[in-house]
Amino acid sequence: MYQSIKEKFITLADTEKAQQLEGYMRNQFPFYGLQSPQRREVYKDVLKAAKKNKEIDWQLLDEAWNDDHREFQYFVCDYLLNMKKYLNYEDIPKIEKYVRSKEWWDTIDSLMKLFGDLGLRDSRVDQLMLDWSVDPDFWVRRVAIEHQLLRKEKMNTDLLSKIICNNLNSNEFFINKAIGWALRDYSKTNPTWVKNFIEEHRDNLDKLSISEGSKYI
């Protein structure tokens, strides 16, 4: 299956578009140069079959993730999001492998959604995200900060507060941006909570986090 997808990617490759995408991602990953709709068309039947069978093919995902081309990491993210309701807590070590390798905001911001969904079904994820919020790897911390995005009324504010507080006084752009993003998103549901949080921690929040978090309040 992996080889079949790869052959289709190669056939559709666009060198000019690939160079644009590689530049956008700071030349960290090679691309075939496929647009998102075009890429998803290649493997849509694979996703349909997986959903019908209600079974995750981890061997296929590992093969795909190990491919140098970034479109294959996007395939893995799309596959797992398509199958998220079949994931359970015991699958986390497998997903964590992907979180901790070939790291950049594009895959991190897709994979974090899996933990948000799983966390609503298994409370053990809360402690894991607290642990991840102090991980030496800032991309792992970003997953913890962002994983509750779009929860609205289901937001665990105590967890959000602890995770953000574990990352105050950070000089890392991708952490401060994530904090701002998390606060901005929740401000659409509970602007008072976000406003009070920002005021309480203003001296320790980065200006970027404050400006992003205050956008709608």
pLDDT cut 90: percent of the chain above it? 100
Half-sphere exposure of 110 (CA within 13 A, CB side): 16
Residue 152 has what pLDDT?
96
Q: What is the mean pLDDT of residues 109-133?
A: 98
**Banded pLDDT at 149 (limits 50, 70, 90):** very high
Report residue 48's pLDDT band, with 50, 70 and 90 as the boundaries. Answer: very high
129 burial via Cβ count (<10 Å: 0-12, 13-18, 19+): buried
Q: What is the CA radius of gyration of the chain?
A: 18
As for how many domains the chain has, the answer is: 2
**Domain identity same for 124 and 78:** no
Each residue's pLDDT tens digit, 5-41: 999 999 999 999 999 999 999 999 999 999 999 999 9
- The pLDDT, as a whole number, for residue 150 is 93
State which residues form the domain around 147: 115-217
69 and 164 housed in the same domain: no
Average pLDDT over residues 155-160: 98
Q: What is the pLDDT of residue 98?
A: 99
How many Å apart are CA 24 and CA 19, to the nearest integer?
A: 9
Look at residue 69 in the predicted model and tell me its pLDDT: 99
Query: Does 82 share its domain with 121?
Result: no
The reply to whether 139 and 69 lie within a common domain is: no
pLDDT at 2: 96
Residue 80 and residue 119 share a domain: no
Q: pLDDT grade, residue 51 (50/70/90)?
A: very high
Nearest partner of 32 among 68, 66, 64, 1, judged by Cα: 68
**Predicted pLDDT of residue 114:** 98
**Please, are residues 210 and 202 in contact by the beta-carbon 8 Å criterion?**
yes
Q: Say yes or no: 126 and 211 in one domain.
A: yes
